[in-house]
Every structure is written in C-alpha cells, then in structure tokens.
C-alpha cells in the first residue's frame, strides 16, 4: 500500500500556503458546499477509526484523453475528497509559466470518484454477453480465471489471438497509461507471455496521420499556437479548440492571447458555428461535411488563375505541383496544376462554380477567400481532426495542407503546415513495456472484423501489417480504460451481434472504474483505482509551447475492493510464471522513483522527488520560443530533407500511386497520388441520400471527454445532449426546439431532444459523441449515442473510422 501518512503532513503545509495565496476564498465557498454532500456516513466511520480529520491538500490529476492534462488539488478530510481546486502556481501570462487550470470536467472529479456507477468488486458474467448480469467473485478467482484461459488460448490459437483494444481513459498517466497499447502495463504483461496482436492508428487521427505522412513524411508537425502572434490571418478547418482544448494548458488559451497581440483575422470553416467562434471569429463559413477538398481545389483554381501561388516555393520545396517537378514515372498531366485546371485525367476544371455546388459555399465567397488566403502573409492555416474523420479523410487532410503549400506558408513564423498546431514536450521517461514478439497488427478500427472473419483479412484488402494475412481470429480482448468495446466504436448493433456469440471471442476482460456500456460486455470485470487512489505522474498535454509534468499523488485509499492496474497485472504475471520479469522486484512507488531518477538525467531542471511531490507540477517553456514546423527544411532543404522518399513536400506521391495500383478496394474507395476531391461513400450525393437525406456529423463535446464524465449529473444538466438541426430542416419536419426526435438509418435508431439552431448548415445535423449508450428493449437508444448510427466500413487507406460520415433521416418521436 503506497498510502503514506507523511503525505498528510506535506499536504497540510500546502493548505496553509494556499490560504496565504488567497486560494482560501474559493476554497471556503466550495468547502461549505461540501457539507451538503452525501459523504457523512463514511466520514463518521473514518473519524471513528481515528483517521486524520485535519484537511490536507494533495496534488492529483485528470488524466483523460482530451488533449490536456490538468492538476487537481484535492482537499481531503478523513480520507474523503471534499472539494477540488486546480493549479495555483504561475500567472495568467501565456509567455510565462502560466497556470494550467482544469476545466469544469476535471473540477467535478469528485463526482466520478464517488459515482454510483463505480465498480466495487471483481465480477464474472452470469447472463448473456451484454445483458449486464454479473456475480461477485474474489480477486483470486478473477486472476485464476484470466490466467488459465489465457494459457489455454495461447496454446490453442497462439498469441496473435489475444488483442489489446484501444482505450484512452487514462492516457495521461505513466504507470496507468492506457494507450498506445504497446506502452501499457497490459502490454508489458503480454510481452512477458509471448506477445499479442497489436493495432496501429487511432480513432482520433487515423486518416490525417496516414494522409499527411505521404505529404510531409511521418507525423505532420505544426507551428505552436503562440506563434499566431506573428500571423495576419488564422484559418481553422474543422478545428474547435474552444471545446476540444479547454484547459489552462490548452491551445484555445494560446490562440486567444496570441491573436490579441497580432490582431489576426480569424476564419472558421465548419458545418457548425462552434464555441471557438462564439463571437471571436471574423467569419464563419459553413461547409457541407466531407467536401473541404473541393473547396481547396477551387481556392487553388483562383490562386493559379490570378497568379497568386508562391511559384519559387513550389519549385524548390515540392514535388508534383507542375510539369517541372513531376516524377518521371507519373502519367503526362499527372500534376496538381493540371488537375486543378481541368487538364488532368478527369478533365474537370475546379472552378468556384464547380466547388460551390459541392460545398454549399457561394462562388463569390470562394473567390474572396482565395485572394484573402493568398495575400495575408503569413497565415496560420490549420485543420482539426473533424474534416479527416470521414470516409475520404486521407484525401481531405492532404488537400487542406495544399493551402499553406501553395502560398509558401510552411516553415515560417506566423505560418503553419496545414496540420494541427504543434506543442512542446519533455523527454520524461515512461514505464518500459518490453518488446512484443508478435509483429502482426491490424487497424484499431477493424478488431470486430478480426473477431468475425480474422483469417480472411489480408494486407492488401484489410491493411493487415507485419504479415500477408491474419492466421487466427481474435479470441481474447483486453479492454483497459476504454469504452471502445461498445460506446466509442462505430455501429453498436453490429458490435453487439458479434460480441453476443461467446464462441467467437471467448474471453473479454474489462478493467474500468465504472459500469459503462463496454463493461456490460465483459466476461471478467475488474474494478480499477481512479487517479485519485494511487500515485502516478501525468504528462503529454497538447499545450502550445510550455510543457509540464504533474505529480499525481494518491489522495485517498482505494475505494471498495479496487486495485491498481499494476497490482492486477503483477498478480496475473505471477500466475503466468513471469512475475520477476514483470515487476523486476519493484512496487509502484519504487517504479515511479526509478523513472523519476532517469527523467532527472534527461531533464536536469527537475527538482528531487520529494520537492516535486510537494510542488505538484513542473513546467518548462520551449527554449526555442515559438515552434516553427519545418523551419530547418525551409532554411536548407538539401541539408535538412523531409523523411518523404524525395526528401521534399510530396504533392504527387509515387508511393500512393503504387498503393492505388496494388490494393484491393471497394467501390467508391479512392486512393490517389494527388490530393484530389473524391466524395467517398455515404457523402451528401450518395444514392442513399434519397432515403436518408441528412448528413449527420459528430463532434467532441464539452460536456464530456468522449464518454468519460458522461455520468456526472451536473455536467449533463449544464450541457444537454441534443441533436443540432437547422430551422429549415426542423420546420420541414414539424420539429420545434427541445422536442424529442428519432434519428435513424439502416444501422439503428436514436431518440434525443432537438436543438433547433441556425448554428448548423441546412442539410446537416450534428450530435456530440460519447453519450452513454442506453438501449430499450427494441435496441433504440434513448441517450443520444451517435455510434448506433455510424458505420464500421473503414476509410480506404488508413482503414480508419469515418465517424463523421453518416446519412440519416430525422422525424418527430
């Protein structure tokens, strides 16, 4: 047990300090609020047991996957969190070591820790899969069952039959880190036991990571948002930091402060009028989902015709813009300029009139936008990950990057690559997780297929990597800190059918804090400690150009029978005969001290362990100042080539031409050497739109981080789950604001309230992702869980999740 009584003394000291700092004012207000909360019974029990009734303040953290990580200062009395504050160090200056203030989600952590949905004991399934019927078992039985079944499955099917599912619930942790799979304690355990089937890609960025890899080589870098202070124009394609990067460490804070300084104009291109706009933007240009590449093509058409492209930049740094730099193997007129002007293989000129019909944006507005982007130098052009989470997302991501490329905004201050903003990170040392002896991996999106038809899946058809084909189906799933087993994976009804049959996937182990939709599909359900109940470090925030690490200390003892992931995996390692290799004889705290000692070698400014524990957060500014992506390449492309095959920015990719020629693709799946516009499947003009005429796009909602915090009452009340619909579409269906509607397509049906608002383009409806799936007896969801309506058909190149590409119909309930 790492719960240290000395922590109380350290923390008591801290609460005195916060009194001096004036933190006491809001502290007191919150504390008096806490008196009305339902903890009194346990508090009394604690007092009887003689526990410390003095308040102590312990630094903890919110480690969910929202892109930020926030410190939480837990005020604890008698082993209970009474209220939660956040960072009180630093100031409000974004150029200094500014405060990293938690958003309202993190500040409601108490309501997650003390939630009625908490898993209390290990359990085994007693009904059919997904019915949610369980019976309590001992930890011994849980560990024995997992170990013996795993041994059997490894013997019968091999290690490739054991899959680590995507899960980002505690992505920000070090010991508790839940993703990428290879960096988790479950991976360390499996690597001691012969390995596991890995996955590549992620639900966040599958298409853009794959797409821009061919443009820039590797993960596309971006300028730090602080560099906007040097920009004259900010153009955001489907990028909503006001909602997706909300914390004090977050990007939205930088964008706002840097724009105040530069007075840059801001244009937001999004089917929705987002919170990032909310009066701060200069212009909102609504666009039909999935059509950004058509808009970009027409902007390029105007720029080329009006001589506004940066020709010297294109000649020196790029491949395939025009005849001069087209690779020898490419077809005649295979270059970008020919494609735009209508001299390419499709023979269509990408005029503003052409794009207007596709995107829904007026022709005149497209022409004005082209002139504006080409002349406001430098311009910070970026895309969030909404535009790429589509059926044609790889092409869209590459197309948007064409704007900074055509205008020479790459590699300069105040510019950007067209990717999302970059951020500074520290070389903090992570828990070592050993090598996976199994080389095979599948796209994170195709695990349901790998259960259903694993041995039919091949490299050329399904993107299997490390092998030509899968030899065995998935027989066991480890699902740690993830709700992607059901809630967050697409097409819930298909998943349900596949998981119901326990002859296919024979063992599902879910490790979570709460009884989620995914937890209901477990065979063995293990209750994990929350971040408040153990010691860890939290890091890796997307935070502009200040990086930080949080000492996420143990605030309270584990609740109920919860254990840490380290204890669980160590116990299973013992039963698998690999305990020594797994633990190397260290406890969790000993590991953290060990990793910290190594980190201090890499980051000499880090204080000693105990000082860090007391100070709670360590911050460091990027010594470079503003980060400029591809600065060295811009300065000297010969000395600092990109990692693309040519070393240059590849507008035309020979690698993609080869892939397009050799892969087996479904109808409507387009892979192209150029960043062309292709509608992809289920776009607005799909024949299916006769039956399901509305495009449904998802978005990441401020009420939750995906599904996490989705069961917190006050957050649910503050930000209701509702479907956005334009007044024109609502009127045509007789729907008024606040009324319950049916949203349906061939994959399922959801009932939820309508938000009738001009903040969304006609023809499009939107639903925040992550609501807790709540089906009735007819499998109609009553909570607004979008994944009842999404498809499991993958995007062509990345085999990623096209979560925002959906056609639906809407009607009054």
Ligand X SMILES: Nc1nc2c(c(=O)[nH]1)N[C@H]1C(S)=C(S)[C@@H](COP(=O)(O)OP(=O)(O)OC[C@H]3O[C@@H](n4cnc5c(=O)[nH]c(N)nc54)[C@H](O)[C@@H]3O)O[C@H]1N2
Minimal distance in Å, beta carbon 476 to Mo ion? 25
Using rule CB under 6 A, residue 412 touches ligand SF4: no
- Residues from 245 through 264 that contact ligand SF4 (CB under 6 A): 246-247
**The residue to which tokens 């005029």 are assigned:** 351
Two tokens, residue 119: 């898993």
Binds 243: which of Mo ion, ligand X, ligand SF4, none (CB < 5-8 Å by kind): ligand X
Choose the one of ligand SF4, ligand X, Mo ion, none that binds residue 69, judging by a C-beta under 5 to 8 angstroms depending on kind.
Answer: ligand SF4
Nearest Cα neighbor of 813 from 735, 760, 747, 758 is: 735
Those residues with Cβ within 8 angstroms of residue 429's Cβ, 6 or more apart along the chain or in another chain: 595, 596, 598, 599, 602
CA angle 491, 497, 499 (to 5 degrees): 100
Distance of closest approach, residue 611 Cβ to ligand X, in angstroms = 26
CA distance 495 to 449: 9
Question: Judged by CB under 6 A, does residue 68 bind ligand SF4?
Answer: yes
Of 70 and 735, nearer to ligand SF4 (C-beta) is 70
- For residue 247, the minimal CB distance to ligand SF4 (Å) is 3
User: Which has the closest alpha carbon to 266: 252, 277, 257?
Assistant: 277
* 106: partner contacted, choices ligand SF4, Mo ion, ligand X, none (Cβ within 5-8 A by kind): ligand SF4
Q: Which positions ≥6 away from 173 have C-beta within 8 Å?
A: 63, 531, 536, 537, 538, 552
Contact, 383 vs 375, CB < 8 A? no
* Cα 415 to Cα 100, 223, 225, 285, 366, distances in angstroms: 26, 7, 10, 21, 21
Select the binding partner of residue 511 from ligand SF4, ligand X, Mo ion, none (C-beta < 5 to 8 A, by kind). Answer: ligand X
Under the binding rule (CB under 6 A), the answer on residue 289 touching ligand X is yes
748 near ligand X, judged by CB under 6 A: no
- Per-residue binder mask for ligand X (CB under 6 A), 372-411, x = binder: ------------xxxx-xx---------------------
Q: Of the two residues 70 and 730, which places its CB atom closer to ligand SF4 in the complex?
A: 70
Distance between CA atoms of 615 and 703, rounded to whole angstroms? 30
Q: Which of 118, 337, 634, 706 binds ligand X (CB under 6 A)?
A: 706
Q: Is 393 exposed, middle or buried (0-12, 13-18, 19+ CB in 10 A)?
A: buried
**Pick from 57, 76, 81, 103: which binds ligand SF4 (CB under 6 A)?**
103
- CA Rg value for the chain: 26
Shorter beta-carbon distance to ligand X: residue 545 or 708:
708
The residue whose Cβ lies closest to ligand SF4 is 106
Quote the least distance from Cβ 244 to ligand SF4, whole Å. 9
Closest CA to 757 of 782, 792, 731, 726: 726
- What's the burial of 84, exposed, middle or buried (CB within 10 Å: 0-12/13-18/19+)? buried
Tell me which stretch binds ligand X (CB under 6 A): 85-93, 492-500, 566-574, 705-713. Answer: 705-713
Binding-site partner at residue 436 among ligand SF4, Mo ion, ligand X, none, CB < 5 to 8 Å by type: none
- Which stretch, 198-206, 307-315, 374-382, 793-801, contacts Mo ion (CB under 5 A)? 198-206
Nearest of 267, 242, 237 to residue 390 by alpha carbon: 237
CA distances from 597 to 79, 328, 553, 600, 693 (A): 29, 53, 17, 5, 59
User: If binding is defined by CB under 6 A, does position 705 make contact with ligand SF4?
Assistant: yes
| Size of residue set near ligand X by CB under 6 A | 65
Q: Which is nearer to ligand X, 511 or 659 (CB)?
A: 511
Q: Contact between 415 and ligand SF4 (CB under 6 A)?
A: no
769 binds ligand X (CB under 6 A): yes
- Nearer to ligand X among residue 119 and residue 659 (C-beta): 119
Which one of 203-211, 267-275, 526-534, 613-621 is the stretch in contact with Mo ion (CB under 5 A)?
203-211
Structure-derived torsion over alpha carbons of residues 716, 719, 725, 728, reported in degrees to the nearest 10: 130
d(CA 511, CA 488): 16
The residue within the footprint of Mo ion, chosen from 78, 204, 325, 542 (CB under 5 A), is: 204
Q: Largest Cα–Cα distance in the chain?
A: 85
> What tokens does 437 get?
């002896």
Please, which residue, 207 or 257, has the CB nearer to Mo ion? 207
Query: Cα–Cα distance between 543 and 100 in angstroms, integer?
Result: 9
Q: Of the ranges 97-105, 627-635, 669-677, 732-740, which one interacts with ligand SF4 (CB under 6 A)?
A: 97-105
Q: Per-residue x/- mask for Mo ion, residues 703 to 732, rule CB under 5 A? A: ------------------------------
Query: Of Mo ion, ligand X, ligand SF4, none, which one does residue 514 interact with (CB within 5 to 8 Å by kind)?
Result: ligand X
- Percent of residues in the chain assigned helix, strand, coil, to nearest 5: 35, 15, 50
Q: Of the two residues 247 and 262, which places its CB atom closer to Mo ion in the complex?
A: 247
Instruction: Give the 3-state secondary structure of residue 32.
Output: helix
Nearest distance from C-beta of residue 664 to ligand X, angstroms: 27
For ligand SF4, the binding residue among 66, 399, 442, 472 (CB under 6 A) is: 66
Q: Which of the listed partners (ligand SF4, Mo ion, ligand X, none) does 702 bind, with a CB threshold of 5 to 8 Å by partner kind?
A: ligand X
Footprint (CB under 6 A) of ligand SF4, residues 300-319: none
Count, residues near Mo ion per rule CB under 5 A:
1
Q: Which two tokens stand for residue 73?
A: 């200062």
Cα 481 to Cα 487: distance, rounded to the nearest angstrom: 13
- Around 150, how many Cα atoms within 13 Å sit in the side-chain half-sphere? 27
Q: Under a CB-based contact definition with an 8 Å cutoff, are residues 755 and 747 in contact?
A: no
Lay out the sheet containing 80-86: strands in order across: 56-62, 70-77, 80-86
- Minimum distance, C-beta of residue 173 to ligand SF4, in the bound complex (Å): 12
Number of residues assigned to the chain: 813
For the bound state, the minimum distance from the C-beta of residue 811 to ligand X, rounded and expressed in Å, comes to 21
**What residues form DSSP beta bridges with 756?**
725
Query: Shortest gap between Cβ of 143 and ligand X (angstroms)?
Result: 16
Which of residues 528 and 669 has its CB atom nearest to ligand X in the complex? 528
Tell me how many residues contact ligand SF4 (CB under 6 A). Answer: 13
- Site residues, ligand X (CB under 6 A): 65-67, 167-170, 176, 203-204, 237-240, 243-244, 246, 269-272, 274, 287, 289-290, 292, 384-387, 389-390, 480-484, 487-488, 511-514, 516, 528, 530-531, 697-702, 704-708, 769-770, 786-787, 790, 803-804
- Site residues, Mo ion (CB under 5 A): 204
- Site residues, ligand SF4 (CB under 6 A): 62, 64, 66, 68-70, 102-103, 105-106, 246-247, 705
């Amino acid at each position: 047990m790492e719960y240290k009584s000395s922590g109380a003394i350290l923390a008591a000291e801290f609460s005195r300090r916060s009194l001096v700092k004036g933190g006491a004012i809001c502290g007191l207000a919150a504390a008096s609020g806490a008196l009305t909360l339902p903890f009194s019974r346990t508090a009394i029990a604690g007092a009887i047991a003689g526990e410390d009734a003095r308040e102590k303040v312990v630094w903890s953290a919110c480690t969910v996957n929202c892109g930020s990580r926030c410190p939480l200062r837990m005020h604890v009395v008698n082993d209970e969190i009474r209220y939660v504050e956040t960072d009180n160090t630093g100031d409000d200056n974004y150029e200094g070591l500014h405060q990293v203030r938690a958003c309202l989600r993190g500040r409601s952590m108490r309501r997650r820790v003390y939630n009625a949905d908490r898993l209390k004991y290990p359990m085994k399934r007693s009904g059919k899969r997904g019915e949610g019927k369980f019976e309590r078992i001992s930890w011994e039985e849980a560990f024995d069952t997992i170990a013996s079944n795993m041994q059997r499955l490894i013997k019968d099917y091999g290690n490739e039959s054991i899959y680590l599912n995507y899960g980002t619930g505690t992505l920000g942790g070090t010991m508790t880190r839940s993703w990428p799979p290879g960096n988790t304690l479950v991976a360390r355990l499996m690597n001691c036991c012969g390995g596991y089937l890995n996955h590549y890609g992620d639900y966040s960025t599958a298409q853009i990571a794959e797409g821009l890899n061919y443009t820039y080589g590797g993960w596309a870098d971006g300028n730090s948002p602080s560099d906007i202070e040097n920009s004259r124009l900010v153009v955001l394609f489907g990028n909503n930091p006001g909602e997706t990067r909300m914390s004090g460490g977050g990007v939205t804070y930088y964008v706002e402060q840097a724009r105040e300084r530069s007075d840059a104009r801001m244009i937001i291109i999004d089917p929705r009028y987002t919170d990032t706009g909310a009066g701060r933007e200069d212009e909102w240009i609504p666009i039909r989902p999935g059509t950004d590449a058509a808009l970009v093509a027409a902007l390029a058409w105007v720029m080329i015709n009006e001589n506004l492209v940066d020709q010297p930049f294109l000649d020196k740094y790029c491949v395939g813009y025009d005849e001069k730099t087209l690779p020898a193997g490419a077809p005649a007129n295979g270059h970008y300029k020919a494609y735009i002007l209508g001299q390419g293989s499709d023979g269509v000129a990408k005029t503003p009139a052409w794009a207007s019909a596709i995107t829904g944006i007026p022709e005149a507005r497209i022409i004005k936008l082209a002139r504006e982007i080409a002349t406001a130098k430098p311009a910070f052009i970026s895309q969030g990950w909404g535009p790429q989470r589509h059926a044609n997302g790889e092409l869209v991501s590459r197309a948007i990057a064409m704007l900074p490329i055509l205008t020479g905004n790459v590699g300069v201050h105040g510019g950007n690559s067209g990717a999302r903003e970059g951020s500074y990170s520290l070389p903090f040392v992570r828990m070592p997780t050993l090598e996976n002896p199994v080389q095979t991996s599948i796209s994170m999106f195709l695990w349901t297929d790998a259960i259903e038809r694993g041995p039919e899946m091949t490299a050329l058809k399904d993107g299997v990597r490390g092998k030509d084909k899968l030899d065995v189906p998935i027989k066991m799933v480890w699902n740690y800190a993830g709700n992607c087993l059901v809630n967050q994976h697409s097409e819930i009804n298909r998943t349900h059918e596949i998981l119901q049959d326990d002859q296919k996937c024979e063992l599902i182990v879910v490790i979570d804090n709460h009884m989620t939709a995914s937890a209901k599909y477990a065979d063995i359900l293990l209750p994990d400690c929350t971040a408040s109940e153990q010691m860890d470090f939290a890091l890796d925030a997307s935070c502009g150009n200040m990086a930080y690490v949080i000492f996420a200390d143990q605030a309270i003892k584990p609740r109920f029978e919860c254990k840490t992931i380290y204890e669980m995996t160590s116990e299973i390692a013992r039963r698998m005969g690999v305990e020594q290799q797994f633990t190397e004889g260290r406890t969790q705290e000993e590991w953290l001290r060990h990793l910290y000692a190594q980190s201090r070698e890499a980051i000499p400014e880090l204080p000693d362990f105990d000082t860090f524990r007391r100070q709670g957060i360590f911050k460091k500014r990027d010594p470079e100042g503003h980060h400029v992506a591809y600065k060295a390449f811009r300065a000297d492309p010969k000395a600092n080539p990109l990692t693309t095959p040519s070393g240059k920015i590849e507008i035309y990719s020979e690698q993609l031409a080869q892939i397009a020629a050799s892969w087996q693709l479904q109808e409507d799946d387009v892979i192209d050497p150029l960043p062309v516009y292709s509608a992809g499947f289920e776009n607005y003009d799909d024949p299916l739109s006769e039956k399901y005429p509305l495009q449904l796009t998802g978005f990441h909602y401020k009420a939750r981080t995906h599904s996490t915090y989705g069961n917190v009452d006050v957050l649910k009340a503050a930000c209701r789950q509702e479907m956005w619909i334009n007044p024109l579409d609502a009127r045509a269906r007789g729907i008024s604001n606040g009324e319950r509607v049916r949203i349906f397509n061939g994959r399922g049906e959801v009932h939820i309230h309508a938000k009738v608002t001009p903040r969304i383009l006609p023809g499009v409806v939107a639903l925040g992702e992550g609501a807790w799936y709540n089906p009735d007896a007819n499998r109609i969801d009553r909570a607004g869980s979008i994944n009842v309506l999404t498809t499991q058909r993958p995007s062509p190149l990345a085999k990623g999740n096209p979560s925002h590409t959906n056609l639906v119909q809407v009607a009054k309930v």
